[in-house]
Structure 1
Amino acid sequence: MATITRSLSTKEDGNGRVEFMLRINSNRTTRVRVRSGIFIAKERFVDGKFVYPRANPKLTAELREIENTLHNLEQMIFTLCETTPAEKLKKELFEKEIDRFHHPKRERKPKEVEEKLQKKFIELVEEFPTKRGLSEWRHRRYGVLSRSLHRFELYRKVKRQQPAKLDFEMFTTDILEDYERFLRNEPEIFDKYPRIFEQYPAETRKARKSRRPFPKGDNTIINIFACLRTFFHWAIEEGLTTNNPFVKYKGKTTEHYGTPYYITLEERDRIADFDLSANKSLAVQRDIFIFHCCIGCRISDLMRLTPANIINDAVEYIASKTKGERPNVIRVPLTQRAKDILERYKGEDSEGRILPFISSQKYNVAIKKIFKECGITRIVTILNPTTGEEEQRPINEIASSHLARRTFVGNLYKKVKDPNLVGALSGHKEGSRAFSRYRDIDDDMKKELIGLME
């Protein structure tokens, strides 16, 4: 992992300030020292810490602005180190990106803009996550967007709607509304025009022929539109267009989720101690699920952990979903139960990972079987993601890998009731909306409050 050390230049500028210097260790062989372009009075940064005045609000605000800018610059450098091949991490690259950080809206040369405009609209969408150094998770989201845009373009051609070809200028509020209707009606469109889905399928799981798309709920469509909106903002900044079709768009923009359901610590322990010796493969996946409940990471991060991630009796990793925005190290101390599971399967994974994982789809199927076998079948109320209506389902029928993460977060939140403390272990950012839903779920807390009235 890259490290950055701050220091101050010995030279003062015309205002008596000195510049922050950054020593970047991006890997074992690359160490560079670069100018940050950020200045401060030297008496306001001592022994690596900012020195704030006691009674000068204006100066305090200026120092906080400097500290925030320096922090954001360092986060940009961390992301650059994460997303750039080691052989390209030279001093010249860091200097170029630092200059771009300070001058983000500098106009590009007309030739560069022209070269981009020669590319097809959807081609630019496909290139966007790579150019921005987005995480693998966000790459997949833009893959969903680009395939759906290909299908939308083919559909417009079949229906002879004009203009059929997608580009920046043809996107109006009306076209966005047409695109939303198209996404919502894809199952019926598949029945009429299946050839549209042959080259750009809506469902990418392996199958001999194109699958009929599942109906899309509001949250799915909101996510697709969020990606498209971000792409348009980037295109405007790059000088590729001045058109922003989202200015007057009145569609839904906020996702809605039901109250998170999860298993109690007692239910977790019942699953952990249940005798599954008659089905050894299921017992292995049970142990993986219990370990998953003990560290609370996303399934994508769990399945890439190796022994190198186990440091001083704790798991250390950078969340793949957010490493492009917040490349923070998440460190979760291991319980004795988690240590025992790691020891039990040490060296058994053929790919050198900490546990013998199967595919995430098969893992989800196994979790449902485990819950049923262990008698964890209570009814929970959920929000149907497609219809938006509440419904009651046995928890074993809807259990999945993400339930392990919710179990970790929910039980921790129940104990400490501090989202920032829990977020330090789960990787949720400060102020995450996810925690607002956990405030509604604890019957024990509600009973305690009602008890105060007796």
Structure 2
Amino acid sequence: MATITRNISTKVNTSGEAEILLRLTVSRSLRLRLKSGIYMNPKRFKDGAIIMPRANQKEAKALNEIEKRLTTLEQLIVSACIDNPPESLSQDFFRDLIDHFNHPEKYEVKKVELTFFGLFNEYLEKHPLSTARANHYRVLARALSRFEMYIQKTANRNYKMTLDNFTTDWIEKFGDFLKAEPELFDKYPEIYAEVPAVVRTQRKPKRPKPKGANTICCTFKRFRAFYNWCIERGYTQNNPFAKFKGIGTEKYGRPYYISVAEVEKIADFDLSENPALAVQRDIFVFQCLIGCRVSDLMRMTDNSVIDGAVEYIPDKTKGERPEVLRVPLNNRAKEILSRYADHKKGNMLLPFISPQKYNDAIKKIFTRCGITRIVTVLNPTTGNEEKRAINEIASSHLARRTFIGNIYKEVKDPNLVGALSGHKEGSKAFARYRDIDEEMKQDLVNILG
């Protein structure tokens, strides 16, 4: 049991008071001399006790308060000795404890005003989001910040966005603002200089790209999710999305992908005159064989390969469904890994470059390999159907679609394919990957006899 004895310093301050000192004994090997930070008239201290005056009630009251504080501090020190392991008890430990006791105002966490954008930051800190989704929410926050500045310049210079003053009408105005941003960039360049639409550039602010219905739909869904989070935590009772009917649903065209034969053509094509492009070709083929997103591919290391398969938790869904995906490697995939066993950066699975350069390389690879057929796509901005050469629009995500599309074509079981791709059962996203091709159509009509 820890024991404490009192003493008083021989030094006095300018007010003629001396500091009470405490001798703490925890064990034979742990004895500490502590400064209490509590001062008093040394004439009223004798043999470890405070002597109360008989006649001076004012002084007696002050000394009684000192006794109470001193007793409380001693109890706190003894409790700390009981609640903490002996090895953590030190001079510095008790110095901090006593300072907390005497100056609690120094350690109070100041309440941050629950501003609209302050809450947005809190949402990003506390809500489980993948890196990609968190970046989408940061894009939304910057767009809302530009919208606030736009309102200040055009309607009300004192306007401040709050959870309570954002109504259904304001959602519609925000949607109109998003659509008009390419034109507003020229009219209000100061807004985009302060809060750029594109932050990954060292140059002057870039003009925002036109936003299609799908982009605005996804933006509104993220905004609604943020509001729902605020309502659940009691930050507001206002729900501007309760009566808003303009979110809609995203519309996507039929997914395009390359066949197994085209993957093999790319894999076997002679690119020896361009070794750097050949490396990116191998990475693309490997991605076609495991079907992951490029963000997951670039996070893989040698440790991701376990017993002849790659194992990973998809970054996009780890906050909601932290499932481990295990995708067996075929012979070509294993051969690619062995080819680069000694030619990569650190522990990375393959010698990656940046995602953008990887996408640029994929387009060059398709062109060199002569895979230039026309595919039908949906323009994300206009929503209109277009015919495009596949080499002009090929990207890393095409590898994922290729993996899913070709496997589904063989097994025709969305749940089995989902076990390899990470799509949950009944996923609307997975439904977009299913390609009802001519062979499958023939199978269906053959049922009729």
What band does the TM-score fall into relative to the shorter chain? Answer: 0.7 to 0.9
2:243: which partner in 1?
248
| Distance of 2:398 and 2:305 partners within structure 1 | 23
Deviations 1:409-446 (A, max 9, x none): 00111111111111110111111112323444412212
Q: Does 1:188 align with 2:183?
A: yes
Q: Give secondary structure in 2 for the equivalent of 1:170.
A: coil
Match of 2:214 in 1: 219
Spell out, residue by residue over 1:152-195, the C-alpha distance to the aligned partner (whole angstroms, 9 max, x if none): 11111111337621101111011000000000110000010111
**Cα distance in 1 between the residues matched to 2:176 and 2:156:** 14
The letter of the residue matching 1:290 is V
Q: Which of 118, 136, 142 lines up with 1:141 in the alignment? A: 136
SS at match of 1:185: helix
1:282 aligns with 2:277: yes
Indicate the residue corresponding to 2:323 in structure 1. 328
Partner of 1:381: 376
CA distance in 2, matches of 1:440, 1:341: 28
Asked if 2 retains the 8 angstrom alpha-carbon contact of 1:219 and 1:385, the reply is: yes
1:166 equivalenced with 2:161 (yes/no): yes
1:258 aligns with 2:253: yes
Counterpart of 2:443 (choices 445, 448, 451) is 448
Alpha-carbon spacing, 1:216–1:418, altered in 2? closer, same or farther (3 Å) = same
- Deviation, structure 1 residue 453: 5.9
Q: Distance in 2 between matches of 1:131 and 1:216?
A: 29
- Code of the aligned partner of 2:312: Y
Q: Which amino acid aligns with 1:223?
A: C
CA 1:122 to 1:213, structure 2 compared with 1: closer, same or farther past 3 Å? same
Aligned mates of 1:214, 1:445 — CA distance in 2:
39
Unaligned runs of 5+ in 2: 1-109
Q: After the TM superposition, which of the residue ranges 343-352 and 392-401 deviates more from structure 2?
A: 343-352
The two structures have a TM-score, normalised by structure 2, of: 0.73
Q: What are the equivalent positions in structure 2 for 1:30-109 lying under 5 Å apart?
A: none
Deviation at 1:132, TM superposition (A): 1.4
Unaligned runs of 5+ in 1: 1-113
CA RMSD of aligned residues (A): 1.7
Distance 2:244 2:128 in 1: 28
Q: Are the counterparts in 2 of residues 126 and 142 from structure 1 also a CA contact under 8 Å?
A: no
Q: Provide the C-alpha distance between the structure 2 equivalents of 1:147 and 1:253, rounded to a whole number of angstroms.
A: 23
CA contact (8 A) 1:129 1:138 kept: no
CA distance in 1, matches of 2:111, 2:166: 21
Give the aligned partner of residue 311 of structure 2. 316
Tell me which amino acid in the other structure corresponds to 1:238: R
Identity %: 59
Shift of 1:199: 2.4
- 2:428 equivalent among 419, 428, 433: 433
- Work out the number of aligned pairs and report it: 341
Structure 1 pair 449–161 and aligned structure 2 pair: CA distance change class (3 A): same
Residues 260 and 441 in structure 1, CA contact (< 8 A), matched pair in contact too: no
SS of the aligned residue for 1:332 comes to strand
Cα deviations by residue, 1:349-397 (Å, 9 ceiling, x for unpaired):
2242010000000000000000010010000000000100100000000
SS at match of 2:432: helix
Q: For 1:309 and 1:165, how far apart are their aligned partners in 2?
A: 48
Query: Residue 325 of structure 2 aligns to which amino acid in structure 1?
Result: I
Q: Secondary structure at the match of 1:239?
A: coil
- 1:345 lines up with 2:336 in the alignment: no
Aligned position for 1:77: none
CA contact (8 A) 1:409 1:422 kept: yes
Cα separation, 2, equivalents of 1:360 and 1:198:
26
Q: Deviations over 1:207-232 (max 9, x none)?
A: 41100010011111111111110111
Instruction: Specify the alignment match of 1:232 in structure 2.
Output: 227
Aligned equivalents of 1:351, 1:219: Cα separation in 2: 39
Distance in 2 (alpha carbons) for counterparts of 1:395 and 1:138? 27
Report the equivalent of 2:71.
Answer: none
- SS, match of residue 375 in structure 2: strand
Contact 2:280/2:358, CA 8 A, preserved across alignment: yes
Deviations 1:28-79 (A, max 9, x none): xxxxxxxxxxxxxxxxxxxxxxxxxxxxxxxxxxxxxxxxxxxxxxxxxxxx
CA distance in 1, matches of 2:394, 2:159: 43
Give 1:451 shift: 5.2
> How far off its partner does 1:233 sit?
0.7
Indicate the residue corresponding to 1:119 in structure 2: 114
Question: In structure 2, the residue corresponding to 1:393 is in which secondary structure?
Answer: strand
Q: Scaled by the length of structure 1, what TM-score is found?
A: 0.73
Letter of the 2:257 partner, please give it: Y
Partner of 1:357: 352
- CA deviations 1:97-147 (Å, max 9, x no partner) are xxxxxxxxxxxxxxxxx946x232012112212211322122111111111
